[in-house]
Structure 1
């Protein structure tokens, strides 16, 4: 989900069109009302010319009412103040001020709009006080009606301003929520890609390493001179190596299918192959033995069933450790210890090989195992020992519920 880019030119064009339409409409209404009120009355040329000029200027000023609301309201008020004492007919020019006053309040200049409304009432009161005592231009009823109209305009404009601000806030919140959702989706997709990358690395890295070791060992034995005199023995050796390669590649394909099944689309059938876990540890150990590595498994504590995510993580850590031993350590033996505690599972994989060249382990494989452990709130450490290399992982049981909920 992505935000569509704003189109400022189209927005300005729409506002300008609206402003022109308002100015033209008010001009038509004021012109028609003025002509109607002039029936049977006459005025001098200069009165008419100045009156129509004020009407044109006041109506034209409405085009700028949203860009300069206070200035336009003051201008239309001044035009009305000059027009009504001058003109013989009382045309509806006051409409221009009413619209300008409404726009001033709706654009957020409420204090200025209130001040203008009060100013109008004071001007009317001043005109009545300064005029002849026996002649009034505005009756009490008209004053009350005008005050009511001005108050209604201010209240209506305030309500419109509040509604506009509320809609803007709702739109801003919706936009922020959409952006946050998009960011979360991207983060989830990135985490999922990394998780699948670790799965593929562990499955293919382990199996291909074993196949490489087994095929290399078979070729080495077939190339020995004593096998040249004993073809039957050479054939048996080759057959055993091919059987080991066949078994390893079969397991690799099974696990690869299971891993790629995570990428299936909605509605597609789930993979039928069981997920890897510590219950398949004997098969993993047997494959390592077929590659010439003497592997011993030890269990401490009472074994307990583990949820699939934690069970898979523990299996992958053991698998990657054996892969590193087979590929890098030049070891002849390894020991796998499973420690079932009250609140955590502890894994220790130790070999009798050459060890790591530095304390950081052996590259991306170690980092992948550490990421798996941290995903469950645990940790993983590696170290060189007197006899080889040791990997220690701690997987707390308390993090199982949280991890499953996150998934």
Structure 2
């Protein structure tokens, strides 16, 4: 019988890290991932670049995983922390290391890991996958969750398949559990965790309320060939129509303040063509620039929503399934890893019957306010980036603040996950 202590939907960083935490605590874990192939060019540099903050770095370091990440050892961090250099940004407004007063933060041990590092999504997922597999996690790809039913009274669920975990089955019989349909198969477990992203099937099937704000813009990330690159200015360029930026020649990022309409159309099946990208780039840049070839492109928005509760009975949410926001500032990965680190040991103790009363409920109590704070951080950046008179006025004020010692210290502490 396909019986486990925990089923996790989604094999992204949050799901993989959480699976490793649970397996380390002697829980049987199944990951169901809808994508058959974990590889994607969007997970590779430069699209797949992510910033790890201090809590994430420390969590990886404690588990012996940080040394397995190679990218930060060979790639120069543009926010390197060298004095006089850019240390990070808020809404594209840079703050410099020379302005940061690190004495205001709790002192760190001399051998403590860094406060911020670059990571590549593909490499991080590979490291977390190796750990999960080594600990006995069952990862099944190409199986999308399409049905969920939970019971709290120890009810039996029919299942089929080659795997059986007798200990997990006994625990499910005693306490109830969840039945999950995926790819024509039926699995059962004591608990189900949705780590299946912004459009989470588990969140919808589990009856969670997802509240928040609608988008102001459509974001574009694309690899293109530009016939006349001299027509585009260097760096991050803000215009009355939006923003464009080339992180490397041909790697294009844009923000079009259309209320998210283009992203919605793309999600509904409208193709993202070379002509469409060229039209948007010409309008935002105010030039006649020509895109001669499109290699890959995706859209995203600043839609910001959060589940009002991270738990409904034996179903829990973590990562983007629990909260979504724009990728501005690179907080999403760290927020998901933080969810997993908080939930893993608490759920394991609950499964083994060693948890004190209310321990599992503290997951929502502790992580929900942190998620809400990150969503507001994202919304604030959008307000500062709006190509309106009000947005430009805010931007000018924030530039003045960021260039002060108090301001740079505050923004660095928020971006790096340290300080207040």
TM-score exceeds 0.5: no
- Structure ranking higher on relative contact order (CA contacts 8 Å, 6+ apart): 2
In terms of fraction of residues, the more helix-rich structure is 1
TM-score (ref. length: structure 1):
0.20
In terms of fraction of residues, the more strand-rich structure is 2
TM-score (ref. length: structure 2):
0.19
